[in-house]
Structure 1
């Protein structure tokens, strides 16, 4: 290496080791590091071909986790700024893309009024993408399509890739005690797609569908687009009570293992009462089991579909919170009598989910690496919940907080100091300080909604949660 090249390498390392990341920013550390590295390489064409410090060394210098550095490196490799070479090491690409930063453009009115990014602290339902097993996922994806199974290139089964449906069957048997055949499993494009398919194939147009209140705010739009009528039912501390269901209800959509968004769990006695009601009224139950895998204390609650033996219950699940929202893959498990009608409905439109990620997900699950990932996430999320609760101690006058045995967010009722303000006003004030504080009442359609706020913790590391908790503390104690 020439003396000039050595000087260039030294300058690059000095600049990298001198980086400073803002732990009080709402932007995750890996995203900050990616941005700074990208701008540094754009501004210095002479860095082309230089070797970057090992991820472990840079992580130690910046006092961050090695995962933060490898995530930033992987992103810049994908964008073409960095490359790897045989024998190891990460290097600046020889032909750097977009060396000249784009000319700044004046933000349009639409952009100026855009909502805050989804990664602001306390955003609920957000998995930590820095912990996504990118390398494992890339390996399974590459193996699936390097020499693809001939049936992958044929006309796909509208119900989804058969090995993936088998892997989901095995996962449900191990994690949820649910006994079903792969033929009863159907791959969907997420929650909206699953509800839409059920509404169009299993329920007659104009039917009355009972939903939980508060609940998923988008549900009314899904049902209305399918020609169905929604009937919200206010829940209590034990979830939905079947005694409040109208006699002409054709189906009930519930989240019994962990109600969204309050976190209430439906006890066994009420589950059995609901199943008796469905049999007596010839009605369906749609069980949305959206984050049951993340249970931190005690045994997982039994799936309603398992208690029913998949006679009157349609079971729904998703990989959005288990892996990534970008994956857009969910599934439904049908009673045998509904498999035929569902196939007729899907045959009319053809497959609705891309086949590209399905074989990779199937092998990821079959290898046991998916279960390992879930156990790892469960440990991280349990630790983050404890950390957040500790960071918010002393706010009993403002928030009614208590540990939750499962889930990815806490639902906190308003304390006496905040009741006069109301949860929506508090949510608006939180936006001004860079927090996403969802109002519980925004998930309700009935009058006199419950008051509270949702505190998502799963998608944020401990330093970010600490900084966000201090912002929240300052906000709440400053309210009149």
Structure 2
């Protein structure tokens, strides 16, 4: 039997074969009882490995689309009869229907990326390379923490294990110039829980919260869920435009070290202006310092918290970018005046975080393994950044320019003026050649470009991906 199957060498071959055979069966073009070619013969005809064909047949067997008959071969099975449609059941009526609908309609663009499989060369933003995770060191400290589990009390402070709070306070003082004591540290389940606690404590329905525009969507969604009035504040080459801050704002959310998504750093003048404005308005500043441990240019810039002399800045950090997002470990350095309120809010949320992971991380940091890991990652990400910049200065130069970024492992790229280019279309085409691209419009509708995260792509992979992008653009 001759099957009309076309294999594109640039795409995963096994997936192509499986998809096309499945389509032929479900469309009826391969009728019930039809015999499929032997795996060896089909492999020769398509130029595939026999194992690739055998795996596709095995998958179709599991899906009950074909059956293997001993000594005879593989045959198409009868498709199951469609189940009769059941009449739709009306959803129950809730008095809180409007509130439920508001949460259903929250803008959560990052959630769309979670279920999408990564491409071979994927420039997803904010994602570290799993291959760089220090498995041996972490396993050793995790086992030690597990042996001690149960020797202490059944519960811990909502702020986290004392050993970890002490290690975090020491690290942020050394690496970011943050002024705090261990008592100011509240360990959270990722930075997102820190933002949630701060928003719930600081902002009520109808109150004003200022956010960078463009900015980080999950924080905006939290504020929207709280019923706050969101005031977008523009960003330029010096960061947040402080002259555009609204009067009466309860909080300001900003990413001064590495603005998300554009990547610019807030200038010293803007930092001073922001602190002065917050002092006049009585406003709390949330400083999201999500990936500034990785600095590639210039001298380290002082954190806003380190410059703050009045206790107005809540400094939020995360281990998702430096270790792994799956650990769900972050922290907030709470201003003294907010500490008790945030601890109470944390207690009501989940009492405290996972003590086993907190204990392992404390040991990991106290031994110096965390700093060694950061140095290794820094050297590797610097190589990847150099390859990315070389690609945009070379093959991609006719179409795109990278915005400058001193820190972090993503950069924004904008299409050059006058070009009729469409970032979503380019991203869709790039998927066909196994390159994952992310349109900047998801975060910044007014910017036509790409968010280029280089955490998960090797230097050699960056070269290969840029060559494929250049082919598509040309």
TM-score normalised by the chain length of structure 2: 0.74
Indicate yes or no: 2:421 matched with 1:463.
no
State the Cα distance separating 1:245 from its structure 2 match.
1.2
Secondary structure at 2:122 match in 1: coil
User: Is residue 177–residue 303 contact of structure 1 (8 Å, CA) maintained in 2?
Assistant: yes
Secondary structure at 1:160 match in 2: coil
Match of 1:451 among 444, 448, 452: 448
User: Is residue 203–residue 226 contact of structure 2 (8 Å, CA) maintained in 1?
Assistant: no
- Counterpart CA distance in 2 for 1:429 and 1:211 is 33
Which runs of structure 2 are paired with 1:287-366 in the superposition (5 Å)? 287-309=287-309, 311-366=311-366
- Counterpart CA distance in 2 for 1:258 and 1:134 is 28
Q: Which has the larger radius of gyration?
A: 2
Tell me the residue number matched to 1:185: 185
User: Is residue 241–residue 270 contact of structure 2 (8 Å, CA) maintained in 1?
Assistant: yes
- Counterpart CA distance in 1 for 2:239 and 2:11 is 37
Change (3 A) 1:218 1:430: farther
Tell me the residue number matched to 1:221: 221
Structure 2, unpaired ranges of 5+: 1-9, 13-57, 66-113
State the Cα distance separating 1:379 from its structure 2 match.
0.6
- Counterpart CA distance in 2 for 1:338 and 1:389 is 42
Which runs of structure 2 are paired with 1:242-321 in the superposition (5 Å)? 242-309=242-309, 311-321=311-321
User: Is residue 320–residue 326 contact of structure 2 (8 Å, CA) maintained in 1?
Assistant: yes
User: Is residue 411–residue 454 contact of structure 1 (8 Å, CA) maintained in 2?
Assistant: yes
Tell me the residue number matched to 2:415: 414
459-468 or 250-259, larger mean C-alpha shift? 459-468
User: Is residue 389–residue 403 contact of structure 1 (8 Å, CA) maintained in 2?
Assistant: no
Change (3 A) 1:106 1:220: farther
Aligned residues: 371
Change (3 A) 1:114 1:459: closer
- Counterpart CA distance in 1 for 2:218 and 2:170 is 31
- Counterpart CA distance in 2 for 1:242 and 1:192 is 25
User: Is residue 217–residue 444 contact of structure 1 (8 Å, CA) maintained in 2?
Assistant: no
Secondary structure at 2:406 match in 1: coil
Change (3 A) 1:458 1:101: same
- Counterpart CA distance in 1 for 2:286 and 2:427 is 31
Secondary structure at 1:234 match in 2: strand
Change (3 A) 1:252 1:130: same
User: Is residue 292–residue 300 contact of structure 1 (8 Å, CA) maintained in 2?
Assistant: no
State the Cα distance separating 1:102 from its structure 2 match.
11
Tell me the residue number matched to 2:397: 396
User: Is residue 411–residue 453 contact of structure 1 (8 Å, CA) maintained in 2?
Assistant: yes
State the Cα distance separating 1:450 from its structure 2 match.
2.0
User: Is residue 179–residue 306 contact of structure 1 (8 Å, CA) maintained in 2?
Assistant: yes
Tell me the residue number matched to 1:55: none
Change (3 A) 1:318 1:310: farther
- Counterpart CA distance in 2 for 1:351 and 1:178 is 26
- Counterpart CA distance in 1 for 2:64 and 2:300 is 52
User: Is residue 167–residue 366 contact of structure 1 (8 Å, CA) maintained in 2?
Assistant: yes
- Counterpart CA distance in 1 for 2:352 and 2:443 is 28
User: Is residue 214–residue 443 contact of structure 2 (8 Å, CA) maintained in 1?
Assistant: yes
State the Cα distance separating 1:119 from its structure 2 match.
6.7
Q: Describe the superposition over 1:242-281 as per-residue Cα deviations: whole angstroms up to 9, x where unpaired.
A: 1111112111100001101111111111100010100101
Q: Describe the superposition over 1:155-184 as per-residue Cα deviations: whole angstroms up to 9, x where unpaired.
A: 121111111111000000110111101111
User: Is residue 160–residue 187 contact of structure 1 (8 Å, CA) maintained in 2?
Assistant: yes
- Structure 1 runs of 4+ off > 3 angstroms? 100-107
User: Is residue 439–residue 451 contact of structure 1 (8 Å, CA) maintained in 2?
Assistant: yes
User: Is residue 213–residue 234 contact of structure 2 (8 Å, CA) maintained in 1?
Assistant: yes
